[in-house]
């Protein structure tokens, strides 16, 4: 999974109240053999109130591929229809410890992107898959600050 290695520091996306956020990371042991994980060791830019990774308040970035790749099943010889097409599920999970109130411990919160790729689409329609990923990540980058505000005040 070398293509999913992170380059440190990571340049963060825009957030209200943050100036040029960066995240220095170090390689961590992944929670599963089909993944890679890093943890945040230092913060750059201005991010007042943000914290680096600790045991009690995690800040990890993990990526996973399927444990066992699924292939496209054979089509019905009479109809040519393929039923029950399996998915190969890829995930990116950021775990961040959030403190709900004063004098309370941090609660680990997963921020998850799940990508269920139908078996066969990885070769038959790869350009469309890449276009979807490009647009999805671009959307998240574009709305990053607004999404942070929405999570704070509940407005959309």
| Blockwise average pLDDT, block size 10, the chain, 156 residues | 82 91 95 94 94 96 95 94 95 96 96 96 91 88 90 86
The pLDDT, as a whole number, for residue 2 is 62
The pLDDT, as a whole number, for residue 116 is 96
Which pTM does this prediction carry?
0.87
The residues near 154 (Cβ < 8 Å, ≥ 6 apart) are none
The pLDDT, as a whole number, for residue 138 is 86
Domain boundaries, the chain: 2-73+84-153
Q: Name the maximum alpha-carbon separation found in the chain.
A: 66
SS3 content of the chain, % helix, strand, coil (to 5): 20, 35, 45
Looking at domain 2-73+84-153, its CATH class is mainly beta
The pLDDT, as a whole number, for residue 135 is 86
* CA 102 vs CA 43, 54, 99: distances in Å: 23, 18, 8
Q: Are 134 and 140 in contact (CB under 8 A)?
A: no
Per DSSP, 81 falls in state P
The pLDDT, as a whole number, for residue 127 is 85
Closest CA to 96 of 54, 135, 136, 156: 54
């Amino acid at each position: 999974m070398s293509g999913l290695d992170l380059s440190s520091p990571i340049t963060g996306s825009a957030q209200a109240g943050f100036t040029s956020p960066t995240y220095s990371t170090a390689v961590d042991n992944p929670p599963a053999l089909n993944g890679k994980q890093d943890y945040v060791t230092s913060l750059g830019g201005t991010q007042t109130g943000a914290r680096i990774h600790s045991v009690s308040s995690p800040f990890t970035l993990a990526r996973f591929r399927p444990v066992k790749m699924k292939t496209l099943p054979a089509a019905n010889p009479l109809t040519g229809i393929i039923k029950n097409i399996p998915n190969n599920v890829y995930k990116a999970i950021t775990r961040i410890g959030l403190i709900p109130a004063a004098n309370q411990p941090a609660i680990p919160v997963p921020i998850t992107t799940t990508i269920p790729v139908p078996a066969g689409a990885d070769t038959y329609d790869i350009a469309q898959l890449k276009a979807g990923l490009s647009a999805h990540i671009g959307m998240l980058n574009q709305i990053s600050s607004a999404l942070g505000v929405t999570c704070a005040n509940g407005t959309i």
